[in-house]
Structure 1
Amino acid sequence: MSAPLHELTITRLIAAPPEKVWDVMTNRQNEWWCPAPWRAEVDHQDRRPGGACRMTMYGPDGEVMPQNSIYLAWDEGRRFVSTDAIVGDFEPSGPFMIGIWEIAPEGDGTRYTARARHWGEETMKQHETMGFTEGWSACAAQLAGICESESAAV
């Protein structure tokens, strides 16, 4: 019997083709990765399993939050998976979650799903309390807004 995933999930149907959603999802993270008025800057990405990902999130009141992780999977056009349990040159870190961002064709659009898997129920509940649903839903809405407005303009 496998251990529980302690997973939080949001999903959204985006009225844009998967190729468009993937492009925006992976190449324009600075436009949708954090709920506005926060913003993100990609500092480094090595898009392969074991590759480092470093981003910095900036808040409206001068907050600066580094977000460092390692990619566990990079399946071009379908999903990427990262964790903050490993950083730098495979250095252990205080693990919080494994993040999974994936897309799949659905009808005339794309089903976007984002998951946060936690090592335990306590950190999962902490993430819920921090505003997981509202925050990750806002990011999905920002991603959808970019994709849908640009697809409609074509």
Structure 2
Amino acid sequence: MKELSVTAFIEAAPETVWDTMVNRQEEWFCPAPWRCKVIEQDRRAGGVNRMVFLGPDGEEMPQEGIYLAWDEGRRLASTDAVVDDLQPAGPFMIGIWEIEPEGNGTRYTALARHWRDEDRKQHEEMGFIEGWQACATLLKSLCESE
């Protein structure tokens, strides 16, 4: 399987989780000591998604691509295989972030789907589970403190 995923139960309404998820990305989308800066987001399928991850020692890791899906209140998906103006780029993954009501709260799931097994393995070795779980924990904390 070429997919990696993390999930978390968040004790907050789906509306709160969605709002925090999409409007406060700079607060949760990148684990410390790194941080995320949103540059541009055209929130629709085909729209540009441009961010940069900033490291503690001045590192900059551009995160550029397009949205494949923007299902308001439920799911967003993006890829780095295509950048603005539909230019092909070196594909690594499709990222999918989705929420659904569960009991008195919300189930958050983040998936990374890779083209090749070796990309999935590389992502896992880079610390995918730890990093994306740290982000889920940040999101959970923000939502539950609302």
TM-score tier by shorter-chain length is over 0.9
Residue 8 in structure 1 maps to residue 4 in structure 2: yes
5+ residue gaps, structure 2, are none
Match of 1:114 in 2: 110
Q: Whose Rg is larger?
A: 1
Q: Distance in 1 between matches of 2:86 and 2:79?
A: 11
The residue type equivalent to 2:143 in the other structure is C
TM-score, normalization: structure 2?
0.99
Q: Distance in 2 between matches of 1:69 and 1:106?
A: 31
Match of 1:85 in 2: 81
Which of 125, 130, 137 is matched with 1:129 structurally? Answer: 125
Q: Distance in 1 between matches of 2:141 and 2:100?
A: 18
RMSD between aligned residues: 0.6
Shift of 1:142: 0.3
Shift of 1:37: 1.4
Which of 68, 75, 84 is matched with 1:72 structurally? Answer: 68
Match of 1:143 in 2: 139
Q: Distance in 1 between matches of 2:84 and 2:42?
A: 11
Q: Distance in 1 between matches of 2:12 and 2:33?
A: 25
Shift of 1:46: 0.3
Which of 24, 33, 36 is matched with 2:32 structurally? Answer: 36
Match of 1:60 in 2: 56
Q: Distance in 1 between matches of 2:65 and 2:101?
A: 27
Residue 18 in structure 1 maps to residue 18 in structure 2: no
Q: Distance in 1 between matches of 2:34 and 2:136?
A: 14
The residue type equivalent to 1:40 in the other structure is C
Corresponding residue pairs, total = 146
5+ residue gaps, structure 1, are none
Q: Distance in 2 between matches of 1:9 and 1:65?
A: 22
Shift of 1:61: 1.2
* Aligned partner of residue 145 in structure 2, secondary structure: helix
Q: Distance in 2 between matches of 1:30 and 1:140?
A: 13
Match of 2:99 in 1: 103
Identity of aligned residues (%): 67
